Amino acid sequence: MDIRIFIGMPLRYAKSVLQDKNVPYVIKHTVSRSHFFQCDTSEIYIIRAQMRENVAHLLVNYTLQKSDSVKQILQVGEKV
């Protein structure tokens, strides 16, 4: 199995597939340090997936949402 197929997928989906295939996995959480985006803690997605020694290593992060300042800049750009 090419573990990279999980990149961009919800964590819950990746976990269910790995459990069905009896593939052990490790989850590591990371956080965004950007001030331009806010985290939506209701959804966790895979941002990196690697297979090492027959164990899937998943790096996950919360969904990022544009801050109000980024939304304003984008709206101004659309009007130009």
| Residue corresponding to tokens 């939304």 | 71
62 band by pLDDT with thresholds 50, 70 and 90: confident
Taking phi over 0 as left and psi of -120 to 50 as alpha, with beta for the rest, 68 belongs to alpha
Per-residue pLDDT, 68: 73
Domain boundaries, the chain: 3-79
Residue among 65, 52, 48 nearest 8 (CA): 48
Per-residue pLDDT, 48: 95
Global confidence as pTM: 0.71
pLDDT tens column, 66-77: 667 767 777 776
